[in-house]
Amino acid sequence: MRVKCDGELMKVRLHCIDTPEMGQRPWGKESRDYLRELAPRGSSVQIKGHKKDRYGRLIGEVMKDGVNLNLTMVREGQAAVYVKYCKDAQYDEAENSAKGDEIGIWAKPGTHQVPWSWRHRN
């Protein structure tokens, strides 16, 4: 996600989640578009920053109007919990709910459910 903070454009990696890559069609585009619906261009968001990743992106939880967008992405089946980097039980609960409802990436089996595996497939 790209945000503007004090006039500076910055990249934010959403904490605890991993979304399908754009090459994982149609899931990558659907996930990106869903996040854009949650926080359209020009929206005001708050970021609870954790640290920076190896690419210099801020890792954080993005809030809009008191709603945690990271958690919403998981709850709505638009992202998987990145277990390697997340120890927050509410994310696991949200993912289990999405899986049970078979929504978003959980509607159909495939590598889109585990983007980290898809990225390292070769």
- Read off the tokens for 27: 């899931």
d(CA 122, CA 118): 9
As annotated, the active-site residues are 13, 21, 57
Count how many residues are written for the chain: 122
d(CA 112, CA 115): 5
Query: Under DSSP, is residue 81 helix (H, G, I), strand (E, B) or coil?
Result: strand
28 contacts 22 by C-beta, under 8 angstroms: yes
